[in-house]
Amino acid sequence: MLRSLSIKNYALIDTLQVNFDGGFITITGETGAGKSILLGGLSLILGKRADLNSLRDPESKCVLEAAFDVRGYELAEFFAQEDLDYEEQTIIRREILPSGKSRAFINDTPVTLTVLASLGEQLVDIHSQHQTLRLTENDFQFRFVDAVAGVGGMLQDYRKKLRAFRKEEKQLMQLQEQKQQAIKEHDYNQFLLNELIEAKLEPGLLEELEGTYERLSNVELIKEQLGYGTQLLEAEQYGILNQLTDLKNAVNKLASFGEEYKELAGRIASVFLELDDAGNELIGLEGNLEDDPALLEQVNTRLQQLYDLQKKHGVQEVETLMEIRDALEEKVVATEGLDEEIARAEARVAALREELHTAAKAIRVKRTEVIPGLKKALETALMPLGMPNARFDMAIVPVDEFRPNGMDELEFLFSANKGGSFNELKKVASGGELSRIMLVIKSMLAGYMKLPTIMFDEIDTGVSGEVSNKMAAIMQKMSASMQVFTITHLPQVAARGNRQFKVFKAEANGRTVTGIKELSDEERVEELAEMLGGKTLTDSALAHAKELLAVKE
């Protein structure tokens, strides 16, 4: 609840400090005294955007501060999420600087207006003419029905499932799009992969094929050189082996004359053996060498295949082609595996869809069950408020789509006159009728959920004395479980308050200022008498005022 309000340098207010308790608090004052200024200051504290023109002294900053008792509001989680210090006595401060900049603080921690407004909605419900119009919005009507139906927990569970469903649905759509794209690429990737598989790629393959191609392409030259080499080694008179034999025999004769000769003879013998073996290999190679045009063509074809693949993929190495082959194989396999992944995603979506249908139907049952009693309760509550012929036609209509509040539409129709046709509230209800309907709804909600401090801004405008008595009784009853403020011009309503505050204008240092003060019992009598009969306080007006005050007791 709102415990205190402090305002400095705002509109017609120099300095204002006021403390509040729980219960029913009425605020009165002459037209133009500044009740709207007070409300505007509180709205800034609750997150409304600031206006530089609201500074009384444009050279000084405006400071607005409010203290709230937040016990029982279950706000600890909110404070934790926003990284704020949770205090049972929470202080909200708003500063508007002469530069036009605005700053907001919760328990001395700077916050954004979004965070401030989010907290403000949970602390104070300012019921103005604009807020009354929310009664005509389907979302507000649903929240009313759902509060009475007690489906808050069911809706929370439904929305959790809906978020999961939307997430799975999005993932399924992405997989399907991925598959469509993969289908376009799959055939081409498979074609490329087949080409690389058919090439039977191995490390060193290119070098091996190029070597084979060179040999097969130069058979005659190789034969010629091999034969010439054999001739050089084995010619009868001047062959290298014959001459080397003579050299070997000559040196062998010297081997007994010293170790160095013996070693030299051994080296020459080794050279002879090596050359003799080389000669045999020359003969063998020449004998095995044959012209093979078919094999040459085959090798040439494979080489051309490799060259084409290198050019197509823009690489120089067979090993790189092998890497590309492996990557293509993974893509092809992944594409083929998408069907299984999509099937699993479709199963998850289908399961969540079924769960959502079940949850939505359960919510619909609860809503439908309370509609008759809710309709009757509203009509009954409005009868003493000058609306004896008020009738409601409400129905829950199933829809085929998942919505944030279920799978229903709510028909919330109204007729104010006997025999009149039903229509939407915004089309047939007057402003005064909407205010009374909203008051009844808020009073009913107070019995089903924890409501924040509520401030009614002249909700009783345009109603008779007897009706105002009934409206005041409703607000007084609401105040048993919550803090209720009402700004009023009606003495019947003002008298019902546990405490009464008066907003007034005065002159200070040649300037008009707005102030607020709590009225004592005697001051309340005088204030109510003025509201009843004007500035001249008659005995009858004073007596009537005392009677009104006695009623609340």
Task: Give the span between the Cα atoms of 14 and 532, in whole angstroms.
Answer: 31
pLDDT in tens, 226-244: 777 777 777 766 778 778 7
pLDDT in tens, 479-492: 988 999 999 989 99
What is the token pair recorded at 282?
């020359």
Task: Give the span between the Cα atoms of 480 and 280, in whole angstroms.
Answer: 121
Dihedral sign, Cα of residue 308, residue 314, residue 320, residue 326: negative
Residue 487, strand partner residues: 27, 457
Residue 72 DSSP class: T
- In angstroms, the Cα distances linking 203 to 10, 23, 199, 200, 207 are 84, 90, 12, 10, 9
Helix (H) or strand (E) run with residue 44 in it: helix 35-45
Whether pLDDT at 216 is above 80? no
For the beta sheet containing 391-403, the strands, ordered from the edge strand earlier in sequence to the opposite edge, are 391-403, 406-415, 423-424
Average pLDDT over residues 41-52: 86
Whether pLDDT at 553 is above 60? no
Average pLDDT over residues 168-175: 94
Average pLDDT over residues 196-202: 80
Average pLDDT over residues 500-510: 87
Per-residue pLDDT at 166 = 96
Instruction: Provide the residue type at 312 as one letter.
Output: K
Was domain 2-129+450-519 assigned CATH 3.40.50.300? yes
Per-residue pLDDT at 131 = 65
Whether pLDDT at 209 is above 80? no
What is the token pair recorded at 97?
């600087």
Contact present, 367 and 145 (Cβ < 8 Å) = yes
Angle CA 58–62–63, to nearest 5: 170
What is the token pair recorded at 448?
């089903």
Residue 499, strand partner residues: 25
Task: Give the span between the Cα atoms of 220 and 224, in whole angstroms.
Answer: 6
Identify the residue whose tokens are 């039903």.
Answer: 422
Answer with the residue of higher pLDDT: 119 or 37.
Answer: 119
Q: How many contiguous H segments (helices) and E segments (strands) does the chain have?
A: 18, 15
Per-residue pLDDT at 265 = 83
Extract the runs of DSSP E, i.e. beta strands, from 418-469.
Answer: 423-424, 453-457
pLDDT in tens, 442-468: 889 888 877 789 999 888 877 777 888
Helix (H) or strand (E) run with residue 319 in it: helix 318-382
> Within its chain, how far is the Cα of 539 from the centroid?
65
Average pLDDT over residues 422-426: 88
Contact present, 268 and 247 (Cβ < 8 Å) = yes
What is the token pair recorded at 71?
């016990």
pLDDT in tens, 254-274: 888 888 888 888 888 888 888
Closest CA to 481 of 504, 508, 438, 450: 450
Per-residue pLDDT at 393 = 93
What is the token pair recorded at 161?
């499932």
Angle CA 182–187–189, to nearest 5: 80
Residue 495, strand partner residues: none
Per-residue pLDDT at 375 = 94
pLDDT in tens, 390-420: 999 999 999 999 999 999 999 999 998 888 8
Instruction: Provide the residue type at 535 as one letter.
Output: K
pLDDT in tens, 112-136: 999 999 999 899 988 876 666 777 8
Average pLDDT of every residue of the chain: 86
Whether pLDDT at 220 is above 90? no
Per-residue pLDDT at 253 = 82
Per-residue pLDDT at 186 = 66
Identify the residue whose tokens are 């649903």.
Answer: 142
Per-residue pLDDT at 533 = 84
Could you tell me if residue 534 is left (phi over 0), alpha (psi between -120 and 50 degrees) or otherwise beta? left
pLDDT in tens, 49-103: 887 777 888 888 999 999 999 988 889 999 999 999 999 999 999 999 888 888 9
Burial 495-511 (b: 16+ CB within 10 A, else e): bbbeebbbbeeeeeeee
Per-residue pLDDT at 288 = 62
Task: Give the span between the Cα atoms of 461 and 267, in whole angstroms.
Answer: 130
Extract the runs of DSSP E, i.e. beta strands, from 200-325.
Answer: none
Contact present, 124 and 2 (Cβ < 8 Å) = yes
Q: Where along the chain do the CATH 3.40.50.300 domains lie?
A: 2-129+450-519
Contact present, 459 and 39 (Cβ < 8 Å) = no
Task: Give the span between the Cα atoms of 208 and 318, in whole angstroms.
Answer: 12
Per-residue pLDDT at 11 = 86
Annotate 184-242 with DSSP letters as a single string: HHHHHHHHHHHHHHHTT--TTHHHHHHHHHHHHHTHHHHHHHHHHHHHHHH-TTT-HHH
Per-residue pLDDT at 335 = 66
What is the token pair recorded at 124?
């104070």
Instruction: Provide the residue type at 450 as one letter.
Output: K
Per-residue pLDDT at 237 = 67
pLDDT in tens, 345-390: 999 999 999 999 999 999 999 999 999 999 999 999 999 998 999 9
pLDDT in tens, 307-340: 888 888 888 887 888 888 888 777 777 666 778 8
Contacts of 265 by beta carbon, 8 Å cutoff, 6+ apart: 248, 251, 252, 254, 255
Contact present, 256 and 200 (Cβ < 8 Å) = no
Neighbours of 27 (CB within 10 A): 23
Per-residue pLDDT at 452 = 86
